[in-house]
Amino acid sequence: MQILRNIEDLEKAPRNAVVTIGNFDGVHLGHRSIFDTLKAHKAKLRGETVALTFKPHPQMALRPEKALELINTYEEKLEILASLDIDMIIEQPFSREFSNLSADDFVVEILQKRLRASIVLLGYDFAFGKGRMGNADLVRKILKPQGVIIEEVTPLELDALAVSSSRIRHALSQGDITEANACLGRQFFLGGIVSQGEGRGKKLGIPTANIQIDPRIVPRIGVYVTQLEIGGESYDSVTNIGLRPTFTRQTAPQLTIETHLYDYSEGDFYGREVRLYFLEFIRGEERFASSDELKSQIAKDILVARQRLKLMLNDLSEC
C-alpha cells in the first residue's frame, strides 16, 4: 500500500487503475461498500485500486465560517483506509486554487492523464470541480469514449435511510452512539493524549484520565460506556464529556473528557497516547449539590456501565 500526499508525487500511473474519489470522513459502511466494489473490479482486471481524497475537507477550505467537525482526524482516516487493503491512497491538498480547477480539467488531467483510470467509481451524491459541476454523468461523457467504465454506486441503507457522514455526525450530536456505531460498522473513537487534570476525581476516590484531543466532533455532553485502549491493552471505563457543572461556575467553561477505568489502579497514563472507544450513552451531565452526591451518582454510572458492557459481550458471544 502506498500513500501519496499529492497527485504531483505520482511517478507512474497505476496498472489498470480502479479509482474512487471522495472525502471518506468516518470511512463508514457506505464508503466500505464502494471499496468492496473497487476490489471486486481490481480482481477482474488484475489492476490496482486507488482512493483519491482531500485535505482539508473542501467545505473547511471554502467555507471556514461554517465549522465542520470531522468524524476522524486526517491521519486516522488514512490509517483506516490503509487497513482496507487499498493499493494507493492519494491525499490531495485542497485549496481555493485547486477548487478553481474545472470539472472537465479534473477528469482529463487527473483521472485520464495522471491515473489512466480503467474504472471510476463514484458515490451517488459526490460532486467535484469548480462550482461542484462534476458528477458521474460528466465523467461518463468524457471518459466512456476512451473505454473507461464509470459506475455510480447506489447508497447503502440502514433502517431505510442512507448511511452518510452527516447522519453519523447528527447521531453523535444527539449522543446516539448505537446509531453512529451501526453506520460506521465499528466503534466510534477519540484519539488523544492523557493530560494532568485538577485531581478532583482522585480526591473523590474515583481517579480519571483527562484526554486532550485534536479538533474534531465530540459526542453530546454526557456520560458514556467506553473502553480505553493504550499500548495494545483495553480497559473498561466510564467517561464524562462535559463542563463539570458541580465544580465550575465559569461563564465559558472548557469542555473536558474524563475517563474512569473502574478495574484499574496501577498508576496513571500521563503523556501517553490513547484511544477512547464509545459503546453506549448512559445519561446527560448534571449539576449536583455536593461532592458526595456526585460520587454516589458516579458509582451508579459505573454499575450501569458494567451491566451494559456485560450484555454487549453476551450478545457478541451469541452471534
For 137-170, what is each residue's pLDDT tens digit? Answer: 999 999 999 999 999 989 999 999 999 999 999 9
Query: Is 206:225 a contact under the CB 8 Å cutoff?
Result: no
Classify 2-156 by CATH class. Answer: alpha beta
Confidence of residue 183 (pLDDT cuts 50, 70, 90): very high
Average of per-residue pLDDT across 177-198: 93
Question: Which is more confident, 290 or 212?
Answer: 212
Q: Retrieve residue 85's grid coordinates.
A: 487493503
Please list the residue range(s) of the chain that carry CATH number 2.40.30.30.
187-318
Contacts of residue 45, defined as CB under 8 A and 6 or more positions apart, other chains included, come to: 16, 18, 118, 119
pLDDT exceeds cutoff 90 at 249: no
Q: Retrieve residue 225's grid coordinates.
A: 460506556
* Backbone φ, ψ for residue 204 (5° rounding): -80, -5
Please list the residue range(s) of the chain that carry CATH number 3.40.50.620.
2-156
Q: What is the pLDDT of residue 268?
A: 74
Q: Which of 173-177, 188-192, 240-244 has the lowest mean pLDDT?
A: 240-244
Q: What is the rounded distance in angstroms from the CA atom of residue 34 to the CA atom of residue 40?
A: 10
DSSP 192: E
pTM score, whole prediction: 0.91
Second CATH level (architecture) for the domain 187-318: Beta Barrel (2.40)
DSSP 240: E
Q: What is the rounded distance in angstroms from the CA atom of residue 191 to the CA atom of residue 122?
A: 30
Query: Is 229:264 a contact under the CB 8 Å cutoff?
Result: no
Helix (H, G, I), strand (E, B) or coil at 92: strand
DSSP 155: P
Q: What residues does 273 pair with on adjacent strands?
A: 193
In angstroms, the Cα distances linking 262 to 22, 210, 286 are 40, 15, 21
Q: Retrieve residue 310's grid coordinates.
A: 456485560
Q: Which of 60-64, 236-240, 277-281 has the lowest mean pLDDT?
A: 60-64
Q: What is the pLDDT of residue 35?
A: 95
Q: What is the rounded distance in angstroms from the CA atom of residue 224 to the CA atom of residue 239?
A: 5
* Backbone φ, ψ for residue 54 (5° rounding): -135, 150
